[in-house]
Amino acid sequence: MKRPGSLCVVGTGIQMMGQMTLESESAVRSATKLLYLVTEPVTESWLHSLNDSAENLWPFYKEEKPRIETYTEIVNHILGFVRAGENVCAAFYGHPGVFVYPSHEAIKQARAEGFAAQMLPGVSAEDCLFADLGIDPGWSGCQSFEATDFLVHSRKFDENVLLILWQVSCIGVATHLNSYSTPGLAVLCANLCETYGSTHEVLLYEAARFPVCSPVIHRVQLGALTSAPVTGISTLIVLPKAKSIPDLEMMKLLNMPASWPFANVRQRTAPR
């Protein structure tokens, strides 16, 4: 039997207001306690108009304060209302399950304590990226890593497939910063140059946060990355080095025709 009190975690999307789903908006309206973490005042004001109990979680962040400490305090704050019997809605910028440690941890702990807890999806920066850049990850694949994780764990990747690296502004940084980490970006740049070369083209992308604005897209050479206009929400997109070569023997094994649209068979037969 579930205990009194519940938790529903939702996403507000990237752009203000318009990217929240109807399902999430309903959860925001019906909650007896609304907690939120968003990046601009218009969405904040809108959330307050939907629910009088709205409370901003941003004060938990402090300059140079360890992020894990902030996350733990946010989780405890959310669960405090759940344990008190409130039907809590926690709204986070973007998708609530993408780079949002407190959302996953709060749901995990709430369920372990016998409370009903769920997450509703939202529009993420990746969703906006695919739309803005005209990228279909199902066509030729896509690799996606958090930048620090990519370096620390020496992640294996295919240089001929699109590579997306998130949170490039805070590589190797465990505290909250209002500026980006130049040393970390330099390490990433040197690492990628070993595979792609310094003249390879990359993109620095920022999704538009307002309907009247366009996404920010800077095209730079990899070797010039450290002097590029990086911000706290920049995502690095490394374009494929070359086209992937299909395995014609595998295509035959799968009874696929040479004209299969996802296979660029006109280049050459894959080497053996």
Q: Please write the tens of the pLDDT for every residue from 46-97.
A: 999 999 999 999 999 998 899 999 999 999 999 999 999 999 999 999 999 9
| 261 confidence band (pLDDT: 50, 70, 90) | low
The rounded distance, in Å, linking the Cα atoms of 207 and 18 is 14
Q: Is residue 260 part of a domain?
A: no
Each residue of 159-180: pLDDT tens digit? 999 999 999 998 988 887 655 6
CB-based contact 191:155 (threshold 8 Å): no
Do 79 and 111 lie in a common domain? yes
Tell me which residues are annotated as active site: 67, 71, 93
Dihedral over Cα of 42, 43, 46, 48: its sign: negative
Do 89 and 149 lie in a common domain? no
Q: Is residue 265 part of a domain?
A: no
| 257 confidence band (pLDDT: 50, 70, 90) | confident
Phi/psi of residue 37, nearest 5 degrees: -140, 100
Q: Which residues, other chains included, contact 148 with Cβ-Cβ below 8 Å and sequence gap of 6+?
A: 167, 170, 171, 172, 173, 184
Each residue of 108-148: pLDDT tens digit? 999 999 999 999 999 999 999 999 999 999 888 999 999 99
Rounded to the nearest 5 percent, the helix, strand and coil shares of the chain are: 35, 20, 45
Q: Which residues, other chains included, contact 248 with Cβ-Cβ below 8 Å and sequence gap of 6+?
A: 258, 265, 269, 270
The rounded distance, in Å, linking the Cα atoms of 259 and 266 is 9
Do 140 and 207 lie in a common domain? yes
Do 152 and 208 lie in a common domain? yes
Picking from 26, 31, 133, 169, the residue whose alpha carbon sits closest to that of residue 87 is 31
Give the pTM: 0.86
Residue 126, SS3? helix
Indicate the residue among 119, 144, 175 that finishes a domain: 119
Indicate the residue among 89, 104, 119 that finishes a domain: 119
The CATH number for 231's domain is: 3.30.950.10
| Structural domain of 93 | 6-119
CB-based contact 44:64 (threshold 8 Å): no
Each residue of 204-240: pLDDT tens digit? 999 998 888 899 999 999 999 999 999 888 999 999 9
CA dihedral 244, 245, 246, 247 (to 10 degrees): -130
- Say what the pLDDT of residue 262 is: 59
